[in-house]
């Protein structure tokens, strides 16, 4: 039986907040930095989404379907693409039409709802599934949670919604001696199959590709395919999961990342015992080897691979709890503008900006963060939250 390489790319952009002062509270309901959001979306579209999609499309044609990928595009990224970069959205739709691209489900807002309430979590997934169906004409069978956040109970909720496959992190502290390169199942509901990210091989591209101090720099497609083949001599599957923005945005075009992307599938498929599958195909093909026990939530972030990047300090938990205090009333309000703003405020990014871990480490945090300090992020977010709370009808 052939061994499997599975490629999945995350596409997400939050609605960044504008500078919202306390004197705006109760007066101004315009929260988002239209200029920044538009600038970033158009930049990322032209540097990453459009050129990378072009390459992926060519590869699918070149290998006549033997090359496949999966994407998860958050609902608020879809919205912004529609608004600011319709050509990027079209290029994703073109990929969908090839029949060799799988689109995954997630929470519409790229939210942390899985950590607070099953009902909210479910509602947001449903909204996202609808958006995927509308844009790409397929009903997702595979689920990936925000930042690959996963636990036994989250997996169980996902299984109960009818998903058969879910992606998460092959976190070292969970895996122990076990390899992430096999199919696992949820510990509470074995119907849900789990694909685990091989973080070493994924980060070789996502983080290390252009790092000249890295011993393996420069990374060629041939070398990389050799590593994949090496891992698959024994194991069943290698899951390469990363932010799509790694191509052309985090790793600039000048680093040769696009040439690498063009050459890599050919190098893989040269190995006759290897094939490339989408997550649901890979999950259907391989035999699960064991249930995976994850009592506490894991994610793909930072060294800790836990949820401390979003809910690790008291600022984050206070903001998070205050946000969801008004959720019921917002849902019942029949006010589409209010509901739209509320969705956007749920993006995990807003909580990431309040993370205090990056004082000590975290170039990655700094890269993604529009605020100088977590305190500024918190003040700004809380001001907005104060206003939306005032807007929300009391019961």
The residues binding another protein (CB under 8 A) are 21-23, 25, 313-315, 317-319, 356, 359, 372-373, 375-376, 378-379, 382-383, 386
For the question of residue 133 being annotated catalytic, the response is no
Closer to another protein by CB, 98 or 322: give it: 322
Instruction: Locate 265 and state its tokens.
Output: 């599938």
Instruction: Work out the burial of residue 394: count CB atoms within 10 Å of its CB; fewer than 13 is exposed, 13-18 middle, 19 or more buried.
Output: exposed
CB of 344: closest distance to another protein in angstroms?
Answer: 21
List the structure tokens of 381. 């977010």
The residue annotated as part of the active site, out of 79, 147, 245, 327, is 147
The torsion defined by the Cα of 115, 120, 126 and 130, in degrees rounded to 10, comes to -100
Task: Report the C-alpha gap between 211 and 231 in whole angstroms.
Answer: 23
Residue 221: closest CA among 280, 264, 254: 264
Largest CA distance in the chain: 65
* Shortest Å distance, C-beta 386 to another protein: 8
Q: How far is the CB of 181 from another protein (least distance, A)?
A: 40
Identify which of 158, 72, 76 has the alpha carbon closest to the alpha carbon of residue 114.
158
Residue 20 C-beta: closest distance to another protein, Å: 9
Closest to 140 measured CA to CA, from 118, 166, 120, 109: 166
- With vertex at residue 137, the alpha carbon angle to CA 132 and CA 138, rounded to the nearest 5 degrees, is 70
CB of 368 to another protein, least distance (A): 18
The whole-angstrom separation of Cα 227 and Cα 221 is 10
Checking DSSP bridges between strand 101-103 and strand 247-248, what pairing results, if any? unpaired
C-alpha span between 194 and 279 (Å, rounded): 9
Active site residues: 147
């Amino acid at each position: 039986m052939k061994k499997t390489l599975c490629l999945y790319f995350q596409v997400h952009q939050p609605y960044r907040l504008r500078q919202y002062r306390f004197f705006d509270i109760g007066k101004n309901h315009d929260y988002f930095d239209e200029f920044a959001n538009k600038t970033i979306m158009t930049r990322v579209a032209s540097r990453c989404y459009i050129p990378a999609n072009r390459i992926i499309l060519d590869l699918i044609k070149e290998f006549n379907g033997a090359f496949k990928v999966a994407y998860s595009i958050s609902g608020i990224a879809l919205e912004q693409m529609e608004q600011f970069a319709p050509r990027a959205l079209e290029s994703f739709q073109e990929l969908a039409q090839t029949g060799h691209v799988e689109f995954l489900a997630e929470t519409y807002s790229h939210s942390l709802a899985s950590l607070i309430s099953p009902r909210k979590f479910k509602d947001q997934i449903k909204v996202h599934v609808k958006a995927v169906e509308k844009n790409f004409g397929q009903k997702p069978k595979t689920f990936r949670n925000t930042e690959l956040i996963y636990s036994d109970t989250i997996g169980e909720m996902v299984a109960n919604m009818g998903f058969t496959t879910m992606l998460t992190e092959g976190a070292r502290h969970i895996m122990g001696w076990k390899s992430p390169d096999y199919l696992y199942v949820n510990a509470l509901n074995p119907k849900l199959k789990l694909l685990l990210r091989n973080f070493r091989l994924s980060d070789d591209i996502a983080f290390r590709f252009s790092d000249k101090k890295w011993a393996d720099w420069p990374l060629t497609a041939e070398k990389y395919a050799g590593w994949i083949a090496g891992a698959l001599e024994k194991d069943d599957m290698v899951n390469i999961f990363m932010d799509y923005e790694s191509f052309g945005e985090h790793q600039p075009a000048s680093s040769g990342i696009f040439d690498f992307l063009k050459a890599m599938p050919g190098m893989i498929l040269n190995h006759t015992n290897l094939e490339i599958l989408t997550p649901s195909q890979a999950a259907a093909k391989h035999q699960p080897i064991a249930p995976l026990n994850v009592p506490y939530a894991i994610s793909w972030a930072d060294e800790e691979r836990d949820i401390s990047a979003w809910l690790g300090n008291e600022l984050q938990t206070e903001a998070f709890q205050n946000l969801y205090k008004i959720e019921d009333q917002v849902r019942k309000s029949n006010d589409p503008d209010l509901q739209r703003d509320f969705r956007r405020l749920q993006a995990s990014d807003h909580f990431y900006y309040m993370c205090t871990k990056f004082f000590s480490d975290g170039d990655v945090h700094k890269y993604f963060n529009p605020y100088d300090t977590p305190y500024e992020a918190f003040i700004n977010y809380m001001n907005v939250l104060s206003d939306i709370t005032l807007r929300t009808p009391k019961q």
